[in-house]
Amino acid sequence: MESSAPKAEIVYRRAVQERFLGALKTTMIPLWGRFSGTFLALVHESNFTNMQDG
């Protein structure tokens, strides 16, 4: 997979979220305030074949 995919995706449903998070190396960032209970998943560059060195 190359990193030309969309830079933001909304993933619904627990089963889809678990499959997505299990397939890729990610860092979860919880939001706060009115967005409490929502998480951002940062996808690591190492998941992609065209990753940048450094």
Q: Which domain holds residue 26?
A: 14-47
Instruction: Tell whether 54 is covered by a domain.
Output: no
pLDDT in tens, 6-15: 566 777 788 8
Q: What's the number of domains the chain is made of?
A: 1
> Rounded to the nearest 10 degrees, how much is the dihedral formed by the CA atoms of 7, 12, 13, 17?
10
Report d(CA 29, CA 16) in Å as an integer.
Answer: 18
Q: What is the pLDDT of residue 32?
A: 94
Higher pLDDT, 36 or 9: 36
Instruction: Tell whether 9 is covered by a domain.
Output: no
Give the DSSP letter of residue 29: E
Instruction: Tell whether 20 is covered by a domain.
Output: yes
Instruction: Tell whether 35 is covered by a domain.
Output: yes
